[in-house]
Chain A
Amino acid sequence: MVRWLGRQALSIISGFGDFALFAGRSVAASWKSRRLPSRVAHAIYEQGALCLPVILIVAIFTGLVLGLQGYYVLNRFGSEGLLGALVSLSLVREMAPVLAALMLVGQAGSALAAEIGIQRNSEQIVALDTMGVNSVGYIVTPRLLSAVVVFPLQTALFVVVGLWGGALSGSLLLGVDSGFTGPRWNAPSSLKTSVSASLRPRPSDSSPFASAPSTASTPTASAGRPEPARSAPPRPAQSFIPVFLSSRRTM
């Protein structure tokens, strides 16, 4: 048992060591690789442009769902004005980096692993070595450098699109003040009503929020949506954009 544990521990340490050496060789090869900029540009296209659709789709739906579900909860406490803060903080601090990374790993990472696997199987990597080309510098280094550029950009894009999705569901569909003073598109009232109705808690809803007795949300919720239709004066809403900016300052 002790021997087995020792072997496992040594195997894990050895794996980390191999990874560290591989990463070190990949970085070191950037000084030796020839025509690196063009290969990095190609890798940026592969990781950036080709992954854009999946990033955009996931980002907009994440924002939409955060807006809808956040409104559902905050509305019970009469705090729907904080929807902007909820969406922007959760996106900027947690969801955008994690989900963008997952999408990139899923799309670009799997494509890269498949490509390298085929190259290894068909002796292309050995062929590079026999030509005197540093195979790590040729295959890995450009992708590593492009990831340094692409990952933050994709995360930022995820945040922007996710916020837009949150604004779409929160402001346009559910009527929360967006803080935007220019001309704006208003969702048809029938759409707003149907979305609000679908968010209205059912009597059978057994969530802890639904049974909370001291909130002002129960009459509001039972009165139905959208917000402007309420008789009580609305709480000052925190818009998406200022909250996002303030969250950036506090991070």
Chain B
Amino acid sequence: MPAPTKTAPPADLLLQVDDLHKSFGSHEVLKGISLEVARGSVSTVLGPSGAGKSVLLKCLADVEQPDSGRLRFDGRPLDFRNRQARAAFRRRCSFLFQGNALFDSLTALQNVALPLEQTTNLADGEIRRRSLEALEQLELDHHVNHYPGTLSGGMQKRLALARAIVTEPELVFFDEPTAGLDPLRRNAVFSMIAKYQRQFSFTALIVTHDVVEALVASDRVALLNQGRICFTGTPEEFSTSDHPVVGAFRDSTDALRSSLAGIRISGQSAPQAS
């Protein structure tokens, strides 16, 4: 995904992916992905289920090892085999999981404090202050001592985001943040991401298949289909693109409407025929 404006200098790119391949056995999931993520933007990778979106995100976040390809982070080549580079990259990135991945045996405060406790040398008081601040900014300050299991789905999502941003990352990966949520909650999650992205100025890379919400909340959109990126551009370009896959994905609601209309017509005509 290029920078928001065509004239943006290369220095504005936070993450660049070039010709990324990933296979599981003989099944090639990613077939040469190239992508650019601009600093401070909300970028979304759309795609149907099974297209390889989550695998792409996990390869970028160093959860899965890509088979080949080049990554550049903040203008520098990124090699995950180099331990120091890997640790430095992880300090500057966070990952928000589909299921939130919160620790059930820890309270909200302990969950948020965990990355600071385990990866920094901050004093206990400073860790507590920062964790409480993150919880307060995400409007969870009344649930500091609650366990994740006692919080609602939206609160859990905010708690996971609080844990992700407490280390002040530059890049946050969101893996299907709205999976399994109703339309109202989907809107709430996307507006939450957009709101806190502006508040904390991190770069967001979201993977989802919710087209409408993604187009509203994102600065840049890419479409992944069968392991390849077949479209990149702004939401407006996505809405007007005549690319067949983009059209099929974008107009899926219309296609469903037509299909249902056909079923209804044939259902009405069937009794007449009998």
Contacts and interface: CB of A to CB of B under 8 A. Distances in A.
Interface of A: 34-35, 115, 118-119, 122-124, 126-133, 138
Given A122-B99, A127-B97, A132 B61 contact: no
A135 to B, nearest CB: 10
B63 A131 contact: no
A172 B87 CA distance: 65
A177 to B, nearest CB: 51
A124 B95 CA distance: 11
B252 to A, nearest CB: 28
Contacts of A132: 87, 90-91, 115, 118-119
A5 to B, nearest CB: 26
B119 A126 contact: no
Contact of B115 (A35, A115, A119, A133): A133
A115 B103 CA distance: 10
B71 to A, nearest CB: 15
B87 to A, nearest CB: 6
B61 A130 contact: yes
Contacts of B95: 127, 130
B59 interface: no
Contacts of B104: 118
A138 B101 contact: no
A67 B102 CA distance: 51
B101 A124 contact: yes
Contact of B90 (A35, A115, A131): A131
Contact of A122 (B63, B101, B117, B119): B101
7 contacts: A34-B118, A130-B63, A131-B94, A131-B167, A132-B87, A132-B90, A132-B115
Nearest to B120: A34
Interface in B108-163: 114-115, 117-119
Contacts of A126: 63, 97, 101
A129 B97 CA distance: 12
Given A124-B103, A126-B63, A131 B97 contact: no
B62 interface: yes
Contacts of A118: 104
Nearest to B105: A115
Contacts of B167: 131
Nearest to B118: A133
A133 B97 contact: no
Nearest to B90: A132
B62 A130 contact: yes
A149 to B, nearest CB: 21
A130 B119 contact: no
Given A123-B97, A126-B63, A131 B119 contact: yes
Contacts of A133: 114-115, 118-119
Interface string B74-105: 00000000000001001101110111011111
A198 B138 CA distance: 70
Contacts of A129: 62-63
Contact of B117 (A35, A119, A124): A35
Contacts of A123: 97-99, 101
Interface string B157-175: 0000000000100000000
Given A132-B87, A132-B90, A132-B91, A127 B118 contact: no
Nearest to B167: A131
B117 A34 contact: yes
B90 A130 contact: yes
A100 B153 CA distance: 42
B141 to A, nearest CB: 22
Contacts of B97: 123, 126-127
Nearest to B62: A130
Contacts of A35: 117-118
B255 to A, nearest CB: 33
B177 to A, nearest CB: 14
A107 B253 CA distance: 53
Nearest to A126: B63
B62 to A, nearest CB: 7
B202 to A, nearest CB: 15
Given A122-B99, A123-B101, A126-B101, A131 B114 contact: yes
B113 to A, nearest CB: 10
Contacts of A124: 101-103
Given A118-B104, A129-B62, A133-B115, 19 more contacts: A34-B117, A35-B118, A122-B99, A123-B97, A123-B98, A123-B101, A126-B63, A126-B97, A126-B101, A130-B61, A130-B90, A130-B93, A131-B90, A131-B94, A132-B91, A132-B115, A133-B114, A133-B118, A133-B119
